[in-house]
Each structure stands twice: as C-alpha cells, then as structure tokens.
Chain A
Amino acid sequence: MMFAASAVALVITMALALVRALLGPTIFDRVLAANMMATKTTLLIAVLGFLTGRPDFTDIALVYALLNFVGTVAVLKFMAHGTLGGAPVPERERQ
C-alpha cells in the first residue's frame, strides 16, 4: 500500500516538474525540470518494480539513473560550447 502512496507522490512531483518545464522562463529551468523528471522516473521504476512484485525493474532503474546524468551533462555541454566536441563553432554563430 505504501508503495502506491510513494508512487502517487512521485507522479505528482513529475507533473509539477512538467509544469515547471512549460513555465520555465529560461532554458536552464527546462534542463532542471528534465533532470528532475528523470530522477523521479528512476525512483518510480524502482517503486513500481516492488509494487508489481518484479525485482528485475531495479536494473532498468539503475540504467536510467546513469542515462539521466549523461543526458544532463551532454545538454549543458552543448549549450555552453555550441557543439558536442566536433569542430569548435565560431563565436558569432553560437547565439
């Protein structure tokens, strides 16, 4: 029963993060909301794994936690440098 309560809390927080992603004035608010959504998805997968009695969900949650971190840093690197490591984009074109 408590898993259901925790899952509901997680889903509500993901909805709030989604609202922040829509409202967010700056790009960074949206990246923040995406980061938060992914972390909550990791927890939701783990909790749902316990809710439905399937222990193999924890592997998916683990992979998703790693994926989220790499994704966030990749987006930030792209925003900071305008490219993901290819030829450096000249200053003018970046904005």
Chain B
Amino acid sequence: MIADALSWLLILGGGGCVLVGGIGVIRLPDFYSRLHAAGLTDTLGAALTVLGLIVQSGWTLVSVKLAIILVVLFFASPTGSHALAAAARASGLPVWPGTGGRP
C-alpha cells in the first residue's frame, strides 16, 4: 500500500515537473533561459517519473532496466544541454540584454 502511495506521489510529481518545464520553454524570452527550463524537465521530471515506475514495479527485471534508463538520462541529458548551449554560444547567439551581457 505504501509503495503504491509513494509511486503515485513520485509519478505525479514527475508529471508536474514536466508540465512546469514545458510551460517554461514556451514563456521564457531568451534561448538560454529556455534551455534552462528544458533542462529542468529533462532531469528532475524524468528522474521522478522513472523512480515512481521503479517503485511501482518492485524487485523485477523491469525496474533494473528502468534504473539503467535513469543512469543513461542522468548522464545524457545534461551533456546534451551543455553541447547545445556551447554550440549556441560558439555561433554567437546574443544573450538576453536583461542579463547585462554576461551569460
């Protein structure tokens, strides 16, 4: 019963984070701030949802695979976001004037 409640909480938390990130990607003015919002959903939203699924599936092979997905996302998402930001910065994308020119 507790596992169900915990996984229920985790999955809804993950869904909430994913939604917040999605709204952030739409509303934020500058590319770099949008990148921040997208990064937020990639890491926290995904981690909470996958953790909820792991708790839901208990000690089975499926949760081992989900743990592998968690590790892969844990390393791949930030690296992808960093590569994206570096490429944007290298190609001279202007920073939002509100930040005083410093990225």
Contact = CB atoms under 8 A, between A and B. Distances in A.
Interface string B49-67: 1101100110011100110
A32 B34 contact: yes
Given A32-B35, A36-B21, 9 more contacts: A9-B15, A32-B25, A32-B34, A35-B84, A46-B50, A46-B66, A46-B69, A50-B56, A62-B68
A83 interface: no
Contact of A16 (B25, B35, B80): B25
A61 to B, nearest CB: 6
B57 A5 contact: no
Nearest to A70: B76
A61 B54 CA distance: 14
Given A2-B12, A59-B65, A80-B91, A66 B76 contact: yes
Interface string A57-72: 0110110011011001
8 contacts: A3-B11, A5-B11, A6-B52, A9-B15, A12-B19, A16-B23, A69-B76, A72-B80
B25 A43 contact: no
Contacts of A43: 14, 18, 45-46, 49-50
A33 B77 contact: no
Interface string A11-36: 01110110110000010110111011
B26 A19 contact: yes
Contact of B12 (A6, A16, A66): A6
Contacts of B45: 43
Contact of B31 (A29, A39, A65): A29
